[in-house]
Amino acid sequence: MTQILFGQSYYLRFDPKLWEAMQPYPPLGTLYAASYVRAHGYAVALFDAMLAESEDEWATALDEHKPQYAVIYEDNFNYLSKMCLLRMREAAFKMIGMAKSRGCTVILCGADVSDHYADYLARGADYCIIGEGEETLLELLNQLSAGKEAGEVVGVVSSHKLQVTRRPDISQLDKLPFPAWDLVDVERYRKIWMSRHGYFSMNMVTTRGCPYHCNWCAKPIWGQRYNSRSPENVVAEMKWLKETYAPDHIWFADDILGLKPNWLETFAALVNEADAAIPFKCLQRADLVNGKTAAALAKAGCKTVWIGAESGSQKILDAMEKGETVEDIYNAARLLRANGIEVGFFLQFGYPGETWEDVQKTLKLVRECAPDDIGISVSYPLPGTKFYERVRLELGEKQNWVDSQDLAMLYRGPFPTEFYRILHGRVHREFRFRRAWRKRDLKGILRSPRELLGLARAEMELWRFKPHG
C-alpha cells in the first residue's frame, strides 16, 4: 500500500484555451513535495491531473494505490493556481470527497487553499497547509504517523485549529532534492510536445518568490520574500535532466530569473563548462535587463524572455506600483533582440483608471516594440493585494474566472466585459498580421484578408465604447 498519493486539481482538459494550445507541464511544486517527503522515508505515488480526462481518474488512482494520506498539493509555480479558476476549485472539492469516501486522511496545500482554507475544510479536508508546504507537510505526516495530535504543527489549520500560523520559508533551497520526475509519465509528455510543436519542453525553477510590490500580484505562498538556488545547483539539475530525459527546451517558471547580482553571469559560465546548456525561456522584469544581463542570458542559451510589460501607459504602470517605466520596456526589448533573444509581452487591460487613450498607448507599445509573442489578460482582483482591497466593495457574486479564457471583469472596470473580450481578439489579430508581414510568412500573409476583415470588424465594435465629447 502506498502511504501517500499526491495529486493536484489543475486539469488541462478543463481549460479550453490552454487545452487547445497544448503546452503541458507536470506540476513541479507537487513533484518537489513528493521528492521531499520520500527522501524522509515515505512511500509516495503521483496522480497527474494535467493530462487526465476528469476526476474519475483520481478515483481510479485512489483505488489502485489505497493510500493512507491523499495530498492534494497544487503547483505553486503555476500562475493559474493563484487565480483559482472555478472549474479547478470544483475539481478539488470533488477530489476531497472521493478520498474521504475511501477512508483517506486528506491534506491540501496551495495558493487558493491558503486564501480560502475554510471552504476546503467545509468540503471535508482534514488539514490545510498555509504557505510553503514541504517542511510543514513532513512535520504533519510525522505527527499523524506517530499517532500524535497535529495541533502544534506550525502552518497547518484544521476544523479543530483555525488559528493561522506560518513557518519561515525554506531559505537554503540547494538542500531540497530535485523534483520526483520518475513519478511522471515523461514519454507521454514528450509525445504530445513533439506531435504538436516539434520539440520537447520540461520545467524547472531556480527561485521561490518575488520581492517587488506590484499591487495586483498575489503572494499567498512566499509573500515578499525571494530565495534563490545557487547557479551550481541549477546547473547540476540541468545536466541531470539533459542526460536522463534529453529535453529540447526548458521553461524556467520563476517569477524572476537571476535577480541576485552576477547570478546570470555565473550561471552562463557554469552551464557551458558543464555542457549542460538547454535552450530555455524565462521571465524577467524590464528594468533588470541591461547589456550585461542580456548577453549572459544569450550565452546561457536563452531562447525567449517574457516581460510583464502590462501597459504602454506610464500612468497605469505607476498606479500598479510596477516600479518601471515605459522606456524600460522599449529598452529591454531592444537589448534582448540585439542578443538574438525572442521577446514576449504579458499585457493587462482594465486596471482602474485606464482610459481609451491608455489602451491606445498599449497598442502603440506593441506595434513599436514588435514582440515575438503576446499574452493578454484583464485585471483580476486577487485576495491579499492592494488592488483587491481597492475594488472589494465592487465585487459581485462571481469572484473568480471559470477558466483562463473567461476574461470577465469581476469589478466595475473602466469598460464592460464585452469590451475586453472584443479587445482581446482585436489585439491578437493585429499582432498576427504584423508578425506575419515582418517575417514574410507566406501562409500568414495569405490569411491576412481574413485577419484584416476581423480586425476592422473588432475595431468598429470597440468604437461603440469610445467616450465622445
Segments making up each domain of the chain, as ranges = 4-157, 199-414
Q: What pLDDT sits at residue 402?
A: 85
CA 63 → CA 47, 212, 294, distances in Å? 12, 44, 51
Taken in order 271, 276, 278, 284, the sign of the CA dihedral is: negative
DSSP-assigned beta bridge partners for residue 281: 251, 304
How many whole angstroms separate alpha carbon 456 and alpha carbon 161?
A: 58
Q: What pLDDT sits at residue 298?
A: 98
Q: What pLDDT sits at residue 332?
A: 98
CATH fold of 199-414, please? TIM Barrel (3.20.20)
Taken in order 283, 47, 84, 141, the sign of the CA dihedral is: negative
DSSP 359: H
Q: Is 309 exposed, middle or buried (0-12, 13-18, 19+ CB in 10 A)?
A: buried
Give helix 291-300 / helix 326-338 axis angle, nearest 10°.
Answer: 40
**3-class DSSP assignment, residue 208:** strand
How many whole angstroms separate alpha carbon 360 and alpha carbon 440?
A: 26
How many whole angstroms separate alpha carbon 222 and alpha carbon 205?
A: 14
Q: What pLDDT sits at residue 282?
A: 98
Mean pLDDT by 10 residues, the chain (469 residues): 89 93 96 98 97 98 98 91 83 98 97 93 97 96 93 91 86 97 98 98 96 87 89 98 98 95 97 98 97 98 98 98 97 98 97 96 97 94 88 86 85 91 92 82 62 79 82
DSSP-assigned beta bridge partners for residue 376: 347
Rg (CA), the chain: 23
Q: Which residues contact 284 (CB under 8 A, 6 or more apart)?
A: 256, 257, 258, 293, 297, 305, 306, 307, 332
Which of 47, 64, 48 shows the shortest CA–CA distance to 5? 47
For β-strands 44-46 and 302-310, DSSP reports them as: unpaired
Residues 4-157, CATH architecture: 3-Layer(aba) Sandwich (3.40)
How many whole angstroms separate alpha carbon 154 and alpha carbon 130?
A: 9
Q: What pLDDT sits at residue 172?
A: 96
Strand order in the sheet with 280-284: 201-204, 249-252, 280-284, 302-310, 342-349, 373-378
Q: Helices marked H in 356-410 — which ranges?
A: 356-369, 386-391
Q: Is 230 exposed, middle or buried (0-12, 13-18, 19+ CB in 10 A)?
A: middle
Question: Which three cell numbers, joined as nine digits, stand for 174?
Answer: 540547494
Place of cell 483517506: 104
Buried b / exposed e over 186-209, threshold 16 CB at 10 Å, is beebbeebeeeeeebbbbbbbbbb
Give kind and range of the element (H or E) at residue 334.
helix 326-338
How many whole angstroms separate alpha carbon 74 and alpha carbon 133?
A: 10
Place of cell 472596470: 413
Q: What pLDDT sits at residue 469?
A: 55
DSSP-assigned beta bridge partners for residue 343: 305
Q: Are 253 and 78 in contact (CB under 8 A)?
A: yes
